[in-house]
Amino acid sequence: MTTESRIWTAALIVVGDEILSGRTHDKNIAQVASWLGVQGIRLREVRVVPDVMEAIIEAVNTLRARNDYLFTTGGIGPTHDDITVDAVAEALGVEVVVHPTARAILEDYYETRGGLNEARLRMARVPDGAELIENKVSGAPGIRAENVYLMAGVPGITAMMLDGLTGQLEGGLPLLSATIGCWVAESEIADLLRETEKAFDGCQIGSYPFFREGKTGANFVIRSVDDETLKACAHALERGLAAMGRFPVAGGI
């Protein structure tokens, strides 16, 4: 196996009662997924778990063992329901300690904002041995503990933490994709999709139907790590659709 063919994987744990209640629509899954794709890392599984120690610990243990990286979002703020740091520390079998640099960052940030109180100091707590991930928005840093990356729940803050990590994680070839849209019922061209996928080694074709303006359509997303194979597969699908009297729309509908 060459370096290029190694596939790097990640999992994501979204910690949050507010997502499980339906009150808040999660934005971190798509954000983390897209960012990982650019780093050449595949997001393999996501779990949304409640703000409950045992639930977080179980997910951390399972997912970090079978992926190169594990990300978490949520539960690293200053309030009583923020327990992700404690759960990750317990999963890793280490103590929770106050990180001196995190403390200094918070002291500086809150100097003109009412000072560092006990609640705010909670945001300097990390699993022993952890490193910080810079956050330019609100002071409180993200945390790397072994292969676990703890991010904020607020999507804008997570975006800044991901920005701080860009290019820092070892990854493989990014999974490329090409999208072809068509005003066709996917059930009419299921054979074409299956046969086209089979004909191009290492390509996957996903079929994503929709109903708009009273019409049936679908986007077909072709994925491959190899740009030439991807293009060849996309062209074959376009030709196949055209041969059936359908009009493929490059880039999707």
Subset of 81-120 contacting a copy of itself (CB under 8 A): 81, 113-114, 117-120
- Asked if 126 touches a copy of itself (CB under 8 A), the answer is no
Q: Using alpha carbons only, what angle is made at residue 160 by residues 162 and 112, rounded to the nearest 5 degrees?
A: 145
Let me know: does 182 contact 218? Beta carbons within 8 Å.
yes
Judged by CB under 8 A, the residue of 53, 83, 138, 253 near a copy of itself is 138
d(CA 141, CA 160): 10
- Asked if 249 touches a copy of itself (CB under 8 A), the answer is no
Subset of 145-174 contacting a copy of itself (CB under 8 A): 153-154, 156
Subset of 224-243 contacting a copy of itself (CB under 8 A): none
- Asked if 5 touches a copy of itself (CB under 8 A), the answer is no
- Asked if 27 touches a copy of itself (CB under 8 A), the answer is yes
In the complex with a copy of itself, the residue whose CB is nearer, 66 or 128, is: 66
Judged by CB under 8 A, the residue of 50, 107, 164, 229 near a copy of itself is 50
* 194: CB partners within 8 A, 6+ apart: none
Kindly write out the interface string for residues 185-214 of this chain, putting x where it contacts a copy of itself by CB under 8 A and - elsewhere.
xxxx-xx-xx--x------xxxxxxxx---
d(CA 177, CA 30): 16
In the complex with a copy of itself, the residue whose CB is nearer, 127 or 153, is: 153
Using alpha carbons, list the distances in angstroms from residue 18 to 21, 81, 105. Answer: 5, 11, 28
d(CA 130, CA 118): 21
**Range 143-159 burial, b when 16+ CB lie within 10 A, else e:** bbbebbbbbbbbeebbb
In the complex with a copy of itself, the residue whose CB is nearer, 23 or 213, is: 23
Part in contact with a copy of itself (CB under 8 A); list of ranges 44-52, 89-97, 128-136, 163-171: 44-52
